[in-house]
Amino acid sequence: MLDRITISPGILKGRPCIRDLGLTVSRVVEAVALHSSFGEIQAEYPELEEEDIRQALIFAARNLDTQVIKREAV
């Protein structure tokens, strides 16, 4: 269950967030890509917990799995 992912029309125009903190799932996924450890992520976002990050990654993966992304021929 992804109980830490919230979607509220009044917070960041309904974009998926972590616990209504105003921190989007996409920003958390980006932070995982940019930082090498949970400690580095937590230094930048002290309000994040490890479970927040885990659920953000699951949410992102599930949503990408339902999309077809067309690439132009090279």
Q: For the whole model, what pTM was predicted?
A: 0.83
pLDDT beyond 80 at 68: no
- Backbone phi and psi for residue 19, each to the nearest 5 degrees, phi listed first: 45, 40
Separation between Cα atoms, residue 42 and residue 65, nearest integer Å: 28
> Per residue, what are the HEC states of 14-57?
HCCEECCCCCEHHHHHHHHHHCCCHHHHHHHCCCCCHHHHHHHH
Beta bridge partners of 6: 17
| 74: confidence class by pLDDT, cuts 50, 70, 90 | low
pLDDT beyond 70 at 10: yes
Query: Is the Cβ–Cβ distance between 35 and 46 less than 8 Å?
Result: no
- Say what the pLDDT of residue 66 is: 74
- Which residue would you say has higher pLDDT here, 71 or 16? 16
| 13: confidence class by pLDDT, cuts 50, 70, 90 | very high
